[in-house]
């Protein structure tokens, strides 16, 4: 697995987050609703200490309703304030703002006692690559905001992005590294597009996805591609999808790369269905 570029950033990222932490009132921990385990950095609790935090299940439009509910309850049980959102459409954003205000209530009262009113809530957004940090910032700011680069620590002086609500966002989103302990995590990150198809070759990746879909979501797979999957190998399923989609090379052979790209692309866009790949482990 070619994942060398993560560990190099870990120390720097952690330092940058720790440096900025005192400047904010609340942390938004953004995770991917389809893969809440794999998209969550295990040491985040350790980094954040008792800083107020909201766990945000983003891309909830791509995850199943049932999965979203299960995960919301899971985090609530862990005493973490949680909300499902779609950063792209803005769904759930009002609730996020409301929760932020509730979390900030005590601090606000403290300021008001000192005569300081309307002090904005300062927020830092943390999450792994591609989870939707910039999208959330832009949606909250209601405009394309400047410089939300995808490297940690690019902003030397702290810039704040004002929003129409009383939130103020730190303009460098903290990019967390995902955890890579087990192979499944790498696969799930690759399926969802968090790592650029570099963990495996595209055909192997698509074949793995077919396997998971066939095992856990057979009807979604059958319905989307109009294929039979019983008594077939995953490769045969892939070939049938390729044929049905006309992904062929000269001589009528299956174009495996093209077929793989179709399947991965449609999964990532939610065209195969709303799919939650991970559920809480007992």
- Contacting positions for ligand GTP (CB under 6 A): 58-59, 61-62, 86-88, 127, 129-135, 150, 175
Residue 178 vs 186, nearer CB to ligand GTP: 178
Residue 61 binding partner per list Mg ion, ligand GTP, none, with a CB distance cut-off of 5 to 8 Å that depends on partner kind = ligand GTP
Q: Tell the smallest beta-carbon distance from residue 45 to ligand GTP (Å).
A: 20
Residue 134 vs 165, nearer CB to Mg ion: 134
28 DSSP β-pair partners: 54, 125
Residue 129 binding partner per list ligand GTP, Mg ion, none, with a CB distance cut-off of 5 to 8 Å that depends on partner kind = ligand GTP
Q: Which residues bind Mg ion (CB under 5 A)?
A: 133-134, 150
Q: Tell the smallest beta-carbon distance from residue 167 to ligand GTP (Å).
A: 17
Q: Tell the smallest beta-carbon distance from residue 15 to ligand GTP (Å).
A: 18
Residue 20 binding partner per list Mg ion, ligand GTP, none, with a CB distance cut-off of 5 to 8 Å that depends on partner kind = none
Q: Tell the smallest beta-carbon distance from residue 91 to Mg ion (Å).
A: 20
Q: Which residue is nearest to Mg ion (CB)?
A: 134
How far apart, in whole angstroms, are the C-alpha atoms of residue 98 and residue 103?
Answer: 9
Residue 96 vs 205, nearer CB to ligand GTP: 96
Residue 16 vs 134, nearer CB to Mg ion: 134
Burial pattern 132-163, b for ≥16 Cβ within 10 A else e, equals bbbbbbbbbbeeebeebeeebbebeeeeebeb
Q: Tell the smallest beta-carbon distance from residue 88 to ligand GTP (Å).
A: 4
Residue 128 vs 263, nearer CB to ligand GTP: 128
């Amino acid at each position: 697995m070619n994942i060398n570029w993560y560990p190099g950033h870990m120390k720097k990222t952690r330092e940058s987050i720790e440096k900025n932490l005192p400047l904010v009132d609340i942390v938004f921990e953004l995770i991917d609703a389809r893969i809440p385990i794999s998209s969550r950095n295990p040491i985040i609790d350790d980094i954040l200490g008792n800083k107020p935090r909201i766990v945000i299940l983003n891309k909830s439009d791509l995850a199943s309703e049932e999965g979203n509910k299960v995960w919301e309850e899971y985090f609530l049980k862990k005493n973490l304030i949680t909300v499902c959102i779609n950063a792209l459409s803005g769904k759930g954003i009002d609730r996020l703002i409301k929760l932020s205000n509730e979390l900030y209530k005590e601090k606000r009262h403290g300021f008001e006692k000192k005569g300081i009113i309307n002090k904005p809530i300062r927020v830092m957004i943390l999450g792994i690559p591609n989870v939707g940090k910039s999208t959330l910032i832009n949606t909250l700011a209601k405009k394309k905001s400047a410089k939300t680069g995808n490297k940690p620590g690019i902003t030397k002086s702290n810039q704040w992005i004002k929003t129409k609500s009383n939130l103020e966002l730190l303009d460098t989103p903290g990019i967390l590294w995902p955890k890579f302990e087990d192979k499944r995590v790498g696969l799930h990150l690759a399926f969802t597009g968090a790592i650029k198809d570099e963990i495996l070759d595209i055909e192997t990746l698509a074949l793995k996805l077919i396997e998971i879909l066939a095992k856990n979501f057979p009807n979604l797979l059958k319905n989307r591609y109009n294929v039979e999957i019983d008594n077939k190998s995953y490769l045969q399923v892939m070939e049938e999808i390729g044929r049905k989609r006309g992904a062929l090379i000269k001589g009528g052979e299956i174009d495996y790369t093209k077929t793989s790209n179709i399947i991965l692309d449609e999964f990532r866009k939610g065209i195969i269905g709303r799919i939650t790949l991970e559920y809480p482990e007992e």
